Amino acid sequence: YLLSYALYSLTTEINHNTIIRQLANYVIRIEVKVNKLTEVFKALSDRNRLRIVLALTKYDELCACQLTELIQVTSATASRHMGVLISAKIVESRKDGRWVFYRLCKEQSDLNALIHWVELQLRNDSAAKLDEKDLAKITSIDPEELCREQRGAKCCS
């Protein structure tokens, strides 16, 4: 009887430890998802960052100077906004020489539904429509010329 009880206790303890470990892992996974969701919503809570995301839904990718021109801020401020969007894994960047290009993260398929919902909510928004028109003008300008206008002659030399 004592041997059976000892074996039962040992098995039960191992099972309890396994269950506790599994629960801890589950809680950690939920916490990671909540933290990720919080980061995404914080990133999208800024008007200029939301404008950037909407612009990137219309174009496969845009260069930093185009986005800076769209939201009418300094390049340092635009860069800070892009850093937040990259950190939230909403946007990714690639460098081509001195140019930095941004696009929506393709691997974040779960974000696609959220971004699509945002697009639908703002489809009749007058400010969003104005941004679309402005962006059409901005993208028609050669990026070198746009950069020169933003930074002066020192930009492209």
Long-range CB contacts for residues 132-135, cutoff 8 Å, separation at least 24: 132/58, 134/70, 135/55, 135/58, 135/59, 135/66, 135/70
State what percent of residues in the chain have pLDDT above 70: 78
Residue matched to tokens 């003008």: 137
Mean pLDDT for all residues in the chain: 82
Global pTM reads: 0.76
Q: What is the pLDDT of residues 41-95, one digit of tens each?
A: 999 999 999 999 999 999 989 999 999 999 999 889 999 999 999 999 999 999 9
Q: Which stretch of 24-28, 68-72, 104-108, 131-135 has the lowest confidence by average pLDDT?
A: 24-28
Rg (CA), the chain: 24
